[in-house]
Amino acid sequence: MPPLLEELASLIEEVRNDAKSAATPNELAQVKARALGGKGFLKSALSGIKDVPSEERKAYGQQLNALKNEFEEFFKRRAAEIDAAAKAEAEFFDSGLPGMRVQMGRLHPIRAAMRNIVDIFVSMGFDVFTGPEMEYEKYNFDLLNIPEYHPARDDMDTFYILPGLVLRTHTSPVQVRVMEKIKAREDVIVQMISPGRVFRRDRPDATHTPCFHQLEGLQVGRGISMANMRWILDEFARRFFGPETRTRLRPDYFPFVEPGAELAVTCSMCEGKGCRVCKETGWIEVMGCGMVHPQVLRNVNIDPDEYSGWAFGFGVERMAQVLYQVPDARMFFENDMRFLRQFS
């Protein structure tokens, strides 16, 4: 080591050792910067040459330049060694090693059930429409024959965003929006389904969650009757739950249909024989339905004396619970991979 550079000896040795242990080009570049970079110790040493006595300045500069050239050659050789080692590792392949198992993704059971339901209705000629999740009271309540004093508007049941604006409590507003735009008058003027998320201020339990998925359907035209509704819903139930599924209609009340009914299917747990799940009845209620109320048709400028229609609606989680025999709807939203991996 030249006498004038002995004070840098420890730094030079440290850089050499770190460069030898560098395993990647990035690591080597970081070590090189400590010696030859703009803030490296060689740069600092050259900038301090003005403080060296004039009679030693020339020799000091020559020694620094020689050291700089030596380091550049050293780092060039070291970079070539690292590159050669990387190429040798890349070329090595052990054909006897087991392959990497690829974990396949799968649809969430609710999404899978929704797609299946939509596909069934589309195959029967229904069109699919969607709408906003934040809805005006006009569409969510007023035009669906749910007046201001109706209990469905209670703050305890509905999320109000602003006066006159709510998070939709069902997807029926989409049906109203579609009927408003109908211009052609044919034998069947609308045949649609409206899937999507809805929101209600429910306390979570085995069958209720504040946010869930709903699918509602509508058929309006000349000569539409409950016979049309019964045939289509029977066909849907057999395709979704299985060919042996039977259905039952019982009277029920909904403000936007008259007459209204509830549709039940044979219990998938006991096949209609009676069990704890169906409360020994053999039936499980899955949806509400009925003939569209004449006032709803009037609200969208459709003459109820000339046209009639029927509508239905159900929660997709409820359908998935019955189909997959899941006892608690909350299990669909807890993101427990042990539960979700059961569904393909």
Complete edge-to-edge strand list for the sheet that includes strand 308-315: 127-128, 188-199, 211-221, 308-315, 283-292, 257-266, 247-254
**Inter-CA distances, 288 with 92, 181, 216, 328, Å:** 65, 25, 10, 21
Same domain, 81 and 123: no
Same domain as 282, residue 203: yes
Q: What is the pTM of this model?
A: 0.68
Residue 140 inside a domain? The answer is: yes
On the question of pLDDT at 41 being above 90, the answer is no
Q: Do 149 and 30 share a structural domain?
A: no
Residue 101 lies in a domain: no
* In contact, 275 and 327? CB cutoff 8 Å: no
Q: 109: which DSSP letter?
A: H
Are residues 211 and 314 both part of a single domain? yes
Indicate whether 57 and 181 sit together in one domain. Answer: no
170-223 pLDDT, tens per residue? 999 999 999 988 875 666 789 999 999 999 988 888 878 889 999 999 999 999
Task: State the pLDDT at residue 279.
Answer: 79
Would you call 150 helix, strand, or coil by DSSP? coil
Domain hosting 336: range is 109-340
Cβ(230)–Cβ(309) below 8 Å? no
| Two tokens, residue 129 | 């429409």
Q: Are the CB atoms for 264 and 320 separated by under 8 Å?
A: no
Distances (CA, A) of 30 to 35, 71, 167, 318: 9, 14, 56, 60
Structure-model confidence comparison of residues 289 and 43, the more confident one: 289
- Rounded distance, CA 104 to CA 344, Å? 10
Give, in degrees to the nearest 5, the angle at Cα 282 between 281 and 283: 90
Neighbours of 68 (CB within 10 A): 17
How many structural domains are present in the chain? Answer: 2
Residue 270 belongs to some domain of the structure: yes
**Whether residue 56 sits in one domain with residue 15:** yes
pLDDT tens, position by position, 65-95: 777 788 788 878 888 888 888 777 777 667 7
**Is 142 domain-assigned?**
yes
- In the chain, the amino acid numbered 237 is A
